[in-house]
A and B are shown apart, each in its own frame.
Chain A
Amino acid sequence: MSDNQIQSSSTTATQLLTEAEMISRVIAGERELFYDLIKPCERAVFLTAFSVLKSEADAEEVVQEASLKAYKALSSFRGEAKFSTWLVKITLNEARMRLRRSRADSEVSLEDFVDDGDSDYTPAVLTDWREIPSEALDRKELRVLLQRGLHELPEKYREVLILRDVRELNIEETAQLLGISIGMVKTRLFRARLMMQKIVAPQLRVQGKRYTRG
């Protein structure tokens, strides 16, 4: 199946449609095909919303709202980017708006004062590292530790780290989605990665023996 073909579960069992065909048919009234269009993007849009909001429940609501917005605006989708890119962009805007609303009446976040200046970022200094294999992710405590580490990052660094290192977008795609320069992505990414190392590595190291024993 090529990149721009989607397997429809709603029509004939194994029918393959291009993205453009599906969109035309949704606009023409085959509403149920919209689910098939959304389905492959679910993880990407959820992670995007989560990277801004840090709350699974809020991220889920934002994905629902963004999906509805996308449906209503489907005829304005020009196909210059992939549908998933368009939907992720709508989701990112929705998530940021929700965050701004939630902050508006409460407090100004300290994150707003984290600048992109030239201050140094110091990692956790270690004498050695025992590699933790991916099989250790079967343990919930390891997954929670990594998730908490990400939660502790300021928003602008968390966004970049999730897009680049969790969703594995490239630098250009990350820059385009966030509306910042490639140089800014690299700067934020360097800081985000070192902050993550500083938060998580000492805790991982303490528990490392358990993980590597399996």
Chain B
Amino acid sequence: MVLDCKHVWREISNYIDGDLDPSVRASVEEHLAHCRHCAAILDSTHNILYLIADERTFTLPVGFSERLHARLESELEKSEPAS
């Protein structure tokens, strides 16, 4: 199966997740081996996902835990879990 660039773009997400049939996967890889544009799209997408998964990218606001604890402390005194 010969894939064009648009078809490969549609499969990039499933390719990253390892969620393609072996025959489609082989066709995608065949295309990537010869198309530097699609290879760069795959590499950049993969790289961005790797960076956003890093805990440093999205951290809790400073003082988040302390404020949550304080809020719970003040409110929980007024209410008990219904049993």
Chain A residues proximal to chain B, CB less than 8 Å = 26-27, 29, 31, 34-35, 38-39, 42-43, 46-47, 50, 56, 60, 63-64, 67-68, 71-76, 120-129, 131-132, 134, 136-138, 142-143, 146-147, 149-150, 161, 165-166, 168, 171, 186, 189-190, 193-194, 196-197, 200-201, 204-205
B79 neighbours in A (Cβ, 8 Å): 68, 71-72
**A-B contact sample (19 more), CB < 8 A, given A137-B57, A143-B57, A204-B47:** A26-B81, A35-B69, A39-B65, A42-B68, A56-B61, A63-B68, A71-B72, A75-B81, A76-B82, A123-B9, A125-B41, A131-B47, A137-B56, A146-B52, A165-B49, A166-B53, A171-B17, A194-B45, A196-B45
A199 — nearest CB in chain B belongs to which residue? B48
Contacting residue for A197 out of B44, B69, B82, CB 8 A:
B44
A125 neighbours in B (Cβ, 8 Å): 37, 40-41
Q: Does residue B28 face the partner (Cβ distance < 8 Å to A)?
A: no
Q: Does residue B4 face the partner (Cβ distance < 8 Å to A)?
A: no
B82 touches A72 (CB 8 A): yes
Contact A166 B82, CB 8 Å, known A64-B68, A71-B76, A127-B40: no
Closest Cβ of chain A to B61, distance in Å, is 5
B82 touches A73 (CB 8 A): yes
Q: In whole angstroms, what is the CA distance A208 to B69 when docked?
A: 40
Chain B residues proximal to chain A, CB less than 8 Å = 6, 9-10, 12-14, 16-17, 19, 36-37, 39-41, 43-45, 47-58, 60-61, 64-65, 67-69, 71-72, 75-77, 79-83
Contact A193 B64, CB 8 Å, known A47-B58, A126-B40, A150-B52: no
Contacting residue for B13 out of A122, A168, A186, CB 8 A:
A186
A121 touches B9 (CB 8 A): yes
Q: In whole angstroms, what is the CA distance A138 to B55 when docked?
A: 11
B52 touches A166 (CB 8 A): yes
B83 neighbours in A (Cβ, 8 Å): 27, 75
A134 touches B64 (CB 8 A): no
Contact A196 B48, CB 8 Å, known A34-B76, A129-B40, A131-B43: yes
Interface contact tally, CB-CB below 8 A: 152
Q: Would you list the 6 A-B pairs with minimal beta carbon distance, nearest first?
A: A190-B13, A126-B40, A129-B43, A74-B81, A201-B44, A137-B56
Contacting residue for A147 out of B39, B57, B76, B81, CB 8 A:
B57
A124 neighbours in B (Cβ, 8 Å): 41, 44
A190 touches B12 (CB 8 A): yes
B58 neighbours in A (Cβ, 8 Å): 47, 50, 147, 166
| Contacts A/B (CB < 8 Å), 15 sampled | A34-B76, A39-B65, A42-B65, A64-B72, A68-B72, A75-B81, A125-B37, A127-B37, A131-B43, A132-B47, A137-B51, A147-B58, A166-B52, A166-B57, A197-B44
